[in-house]
Structure 1
Amino acid sequence: MTRTLAVLSGIACLAFAGQAFARCEDHVPQPKPQNTFAQDVGREFDTILDDGWIEFAVYEDFPPWSYEEAGKPQGVDIEIGRLIAEDIGVEPRFRLVQADETLDADLRNYVWKGAIVGGRVSDVMLHVPYDSDLTCRIEQVVFTGQYAMEELAIAYAISAYPDGDAPTPAYFRYDTVAVENDSLSDFYLSSFGRGAASGTIRRFATTDQAVKALARGDTMAAMGPRAALEAGLGEDLGRDHKLHTPPYPGLVRKDWTIGVAVNHQHRDLGYAVDYAIEKALADGRIQAIFAAHGLTFLPPER
Structure 2
Amino acid sequence: MPGRRVILALLACLAASPAFARCEDYVPGQRPQNTAPQDVGREFDRILDEGWIEFALYEDYPPWSYAENGKAAGIDVEIGRLIAEDLGVEPRFRLVGAGENLEADLRNFVWKGAVVNGRVSDVMLHVPYDSAFTCRVEQAVFTGLYAQEHVAIAYSDAEYPDKGPTPPYFRYDTVGVENDSIADFYLTSIGAGADKVHRYRSTPAAMQALAAGEVMAAMGPRAELEAGLQEGLSLHQPPLLGFSRSTWTLGVAVSQQHRDLGYAVDGAIRAAMDDGRLAAVFARFGVTWNPPEW
- Alpha-carbon offset, residue 198 of structure 1: 3.0
Q: CA, structure 1 residues 225+258, in 2 after alignment: closer, same or farther (shift >3 Å)?
A: same
Q: Which runs of 5+ in 2 are unaligned?
A: none
Q: Residue 254 of structure 1 aligns with which residue? A: 246
- Alpha-carbon offset, residue 203 of structure 1: 0.7
Q: CA, structure 1 residues 126+74, in 2 after alignment: closer, same or farther (shift >3 Å)?
A: same
Identify which of 210, 214, 217 aligns with 2:206: 210
Q: Distance in 1 between matches of 2:7 and 2:29?
A: 22
Q: How does 1:142-291 map to 2 (within 5 A)?
A: 142-162=141-161, 164-192=162-190, 195-233=191-229, 236=230, 239-291=231-283
Q: Distance in 1 between matches of 2:202 and 2:256?
A: 32
- Alpha-carbon offset, residue 284 of structure 1: 0.7
Q: Distance in 2 between matches of 1:219 and 1:284?
A: 37
Q: Which runs of 5+ in 1 are unaligned?
A: none
Q: Residue 2 of structure 2 aligns with which residue? A: 3
Give a deviation string over 1:17-47, Cα, whole Å, max 9, x none: x953432244232346999752111111111
Secondary structure of the residue aligned to 1:160 is coil
Secondary structure of the residue aligned to 1:248 is coil
Q: Residue 55 of structure 1 aligns with which residue? A: 54
Report the count of equivalent residues: 293
CA RMSD, 1 decimal: 1.8
Q: Distance in 1 between matches of 2:76 and 2:35?
A: 33
Q: How does 1:40-79 map to 2 (within 5 A)?
A: 40-79=39-78
Secondary structure of the residue aligned to 2:234 is strand
Q: Distance in 1 between matches of 2:192 and 2:246?
A: 20
Residue identity over aligned pairs, in percent, reads 62
Give a deviation string over 1:206-254, Cα, whole Å, max 9, x none: 1110110111000010001111001112xx2xx4011110111111221
Q: Distance in 2 between matches of 1:84 and 1:137?
A: 27
For 1:167, give the aligned amino acid: P
Q: CA, structure 1 residues 185+15, in 2 after alignment: closer, same or farther (shift >3 Å)?
A: farther
Q: Distance in 1 between matches of 2:181 and 2:24?
A: 27
Contact 1:151 1:254 in 2 (8 A): yes
* The structure with more helix, counted as a fraction of residues: 1
In the alignment, is residue 89 of structure 1 matched against residue 88 of structure 2?
A: yes
Give a deviation string over 1:255-293, Cα, whole Å, max 9, x none: 110000000000000000000001110111101111111
Alignment TM-score, normalising by the size of structure 2:
0.95
In the alignment, is residue 115 of structure 1 matched against residue 114 of structure 2?
A: yes
For 2:267, give the aligned amino acid: Y
